[in-house]
Structure 1
Amino acid sequence: LNQNKPAFKCLTDRSDLVDVDGKNSKFVLCQRCDAKVLRPGIAVFTEKELFLPSMKKKSSLNTSEGSLDGDTLMTHWLVTDIFDFENVGITKDVGRIKYLICADCEIGPIGWHCLDDNTKFYVALERVNHA
């Protein structure tokens, strides 16, 4: 239960990941199975403080009762349309939040989506690979 003391994680050198328009210059891939999550030029780099539970298989994401292990992450790819993803799954509602997972291997969460705004899907840079 590490929610009181957020572990801020931030990638310091991202110049090779962000193009001149502030978008992802490389493919965004699943860390576990290398499935393509986003094509280059789709998502905008953004900084927003979001808490994501620890990486797990989809079956255990929905059942975390009370104790949430995870990280407060600051750097994300912002996607404004769910159809811009190449390969992403979405968990059942956890309150007003849905978590983004890899659709191939179901590991996650790699990202976060609030049901209050259908135009904001956040993919944490630290939860994905780039190639």
Structure 2
Amino acid sequence: MPTELPTTPLEERIPSFPPGIWDALQRPAAAGPATRTLASFPNGVLDVYESDASDEGTSLNKFDLVCPQDGCGSIILKSGVGKWVERSSVELDPPNQPVHPRLPALPAPPATAHWWLITPSPMAFENIGFTQPVQSANAGAKKLKLLICAECDLGALGWSEEGGTEFWLACSRVNYRA
């Protein structure tokens, strides 16, 4: 049986929109909640973690971790997911190349740095991206995948070993939604 074509003119079949709707859709999104850098907290890292009530001796991120890029602010990790660890630093930035101004320099290894440890898989993140594997500065070490913002590609925010189950975010290279 053949289908009947509508007899109503096209102009009458298109829904009408309230006045100003197109202009509203064109406006930039409102700024989200304010974020802070680690350096803006009076006590530094001590202000951004809290004790895990279920695991004595473990400290978790108190705030959501967000991309530090101006205009991005993508949520990388929700509060209470990352375990605070102080461990040796890792060289994340390519030699002889400038570091992005929003990413503070990390101490040179073997000095220690503050990290958020996320396990056991990248599914614990809200939003994270990975680079192609890069050779570690340590001879014989596994290749590293650098962690970057999945929205704007800012990085390196942290690292993981290729095929590993530990993901490390530098405390100083993310912002905190307090």
The TM-score with structure 2 as length reference comes to 0.56
Query: Does residue 52 in structure 1 map to residue 78 in structure 2?
Result: no
- 1:114, distance to aligned residue in structure 2 (A): 1.2
**Between Structure 1 and Structure 2, which shows a larger proportion of helix residues?**
2
- 1:19, distance to aligned residue in structure 2 (A): 1.1
CA distance in 2, matches of 1:127, 1:13: 13
Is this contact kept in 1: 2:45–2:171, CA < 8 A? no
**Within 5 Å, which residues of 2 pair with 1:1-131?**
13-21=44-52, 22-32=59-69, 33-48=72-87, 49-53=89-93, 67=96, 71-73=105-107, 74-80=113-119, 81-95=121-135, 96-115=143-162, 118-131=164-177
Structure 1 consecutive aligned stretches of length 4 or more whose deviation exceeds 3 Å: 66-73
Residue deviations 1:63-121, cap 9 Å, x none?
Answer: x5x646564341110001210000000000102010000000011010111126x2210
CA distance in 1, matches of 2:171, 2:44: 12
Greater gyration radius? 2
2:151 match: secondary structure: coil
- Identical aligned residues as a percent: 30
CA distance in 2, matches of 1:36, 1:113: 19
Is this contact kept in 1: 2:130–2:147, CA < 8 A? yes
RMSD across aligned positions (CA): 2.0
The TM-score with structure 1 as length reference comes to 0.75
CA distance in 1, matches of 2:147, 2:44: 24
Residue deviations 1:36-64, cap 9 Å, x none?
Answer: 000000010011221221xxxxxxxxxx5
CA distance in 1, matches of 2:170, 2:131: 16
1:51 match: secondary structure: coil
**Between Structure 1 and Structure 2, which shows a larger proportion of strand residues?**
1
CA distance in 1, matches of 2:97, 2:152: 22
1:15 match: secondary structure: helix
Greater relative contact order: 1 or 2 (C-alpha under 8 angstroms, separation 6 or more)? 1
